[in-house]
Amino acid sequence: MPGPAAFRAAFTLKWDWLRRQSLTNTLALMRIDEMLASTRPVFSVEFFPPKTDEGRQTLFETVEVLRKLDPHFFSVTYGAGGATREGTLDTTRAIRDQYDSEAMAHLSCVGETVESLREIIDRIADAGIENILALRGDPPRGEKDFEQPEGGLGSASDLAALIHETHPEIALGGACFPEVHPEAPSLEADLAYLKTKIDNGVSFLITQLFFDNQLYFDFVPAARAAGIDVPIIPGVMPMTGFRQIARISELCEATIPDPLALAMEALDGDERAEFELGVAYATQQCADLLRRGAPGIHLYALNRSPATRAILGALHASKPWEEPATAGAA
């Protein structure tokens, strides 16, 4: 019978072998459209640019932790009116250059002229960033409606056209809304505008956060019927704190299903329990999406790692995308 030293040696060997295996056998750096053409599922994580040195440190610790779970790319949001212009560029570049991870910069039209947009797009391209999420953007804080800036652009579709015309080498993503964009008069009108983004060069879409998967599984066939044939990645935000996520959901008009709200309320504000329920719910949500054919998952991480780490870890361990697809697949 082998002694403890032999067991230890065998365990160490096996552990080292496991660590050397990539969890999804992916690709370090590859444009997102190319990834989506060759890899399923594609996991991504969204951050916002930190405002302080402490925030920056937290964010990069998060990147360091999450990299071990092989997300395929990270994306960095863009503040209204260029408020985070340097932060978005610096953070996206640092993720790509220092962590050798694919990265996407968000860009919006709010408060920008065509000239300033051209300049930012050139700087993004010069920094070697090959993916942009082209957005119209939300009105700046305190303003209710989006106003097309003088000399600027009025829709994500126009921004996509500008980027595609000046830098066709950049892969373009766009936003879409399973619960219909709040300003759109109908799903049909929203999808007709969405189609113009694809016509102008957008090659993948990421959805607004939602908590009820049926919304996604109804939206995808409606988009296909409207001629939208690019991958539609569901965006998932783990409800790690009921009040905070309820506030965010209200802002973007995402519905919280009654059973989830009731389960959260039953926790009487116990933050630990809310976190655990939020992670459990999001993990099940992602597993169901992947089992039914979603091309990947985009996790809204709010710059922190614990929930995203638990969800990605559980998905890698259980591989729901390898299970036979069930009814209602995307």
Question: What residues act catalytically?
Answer: 46
- Cβ-Cβ contacts under 8 Å for 318 (sequence gap 6 or more): 287
Query: Would you count residue 175 as binding ligand FAD (CB under 6 A)?
Result: yes
* Residue 200 within binding range of ligand FAD, rule CB under 6 A: no
Q: Are 207 and 219 in contact (CB under 8 A)?
A: yes
State phi, psi for 205 to the nearest 5 degrees.
-125, 150
Among 33, 102, 179, 190, binds ligand FAD (CB under 6 A): 190
The CB-of-176 to ligand FAD minimum distance in angstroms stands at 7
Shortest separation between residue 206's beta carbon and ligand FAD, angstroms: 4
206 binds ligand FAD (CB under 6 A): yes
> In the set 101, 131, 208, 249, which binds ligand FAD (CB under 6 A)?
208
Both tokens of 51, joined, read 């405002």
Judged by CB under 6 A, does residue 155 bind ligand FAD?
Answer: yes
Residue 75 C-beta: closest distance to ligand FAD, Å: 8
Residue 164 interacting with ligand FAD (CB under 6 A): no
Size of the site for ligand FAD (CB under 6 A): 22
Q: Would you tell me the crossing angle of helices 114-126 and 85-99 to the nearest 10 degrees?
A: 20
Helix spans in the chain (H): 4-20, 32-38, 53-67, 85-99, 114-126, 156-166, 187-199, 213-225, 242-251, 258-265, 271-291, 306-318
Q: Does 308 bind ligand FAD (CB under 6 A)?
A: no
3-state secondary structure of 298: strand
Tell me: does residue 91 bind ligand FAD (CB under 6 A). Answer: no
Instruction: Say whether 104 sits in a helix, a strand or coil.
Output: strand
Q: 213-225 and 187-199 helices cross at what angle (nearest 10)? A: 60
Site for ligand FAD in 271-290 (CB under 6 A): none
Closest separation in Å from C-beta 162 to ligand FAD: 13
Binding ligand FAD by CB under 6 A: which of 114, 184, 246, 248?
184
Site for ligand FAD in 68-87 (CB under 6 A): 77-78, 80
Give the tokens for residue 32: 């997102």
CA pair distance 211, 58, nearest whole angstrom: 27
193 belongs to the binding site for ligand FAD (CB under 6 A): yes
Nearer of residues 27 and 80 to ligand FAD, judged by Cβ: 80
- Does 157 contact ligand FAD by CB under 6 A? yes
DSSP 173-187: EEEE-TT--TT-S-H
Identify which of 311, 309, 324, 323 has the alpha carbon closest to the alpha carbon of residue 284.
311
Among 122, 183, 250, 271, binds ligand FAD (CB under 6 A): 183
Task: Provide the binding-site residues for ligand FAD, judged by CB under 6 A.
Answer: 77-78, 80, 106, 108, 133, 135-138, 155-157, 175, 181, 183-184, 190, 193, 206, 208, 235
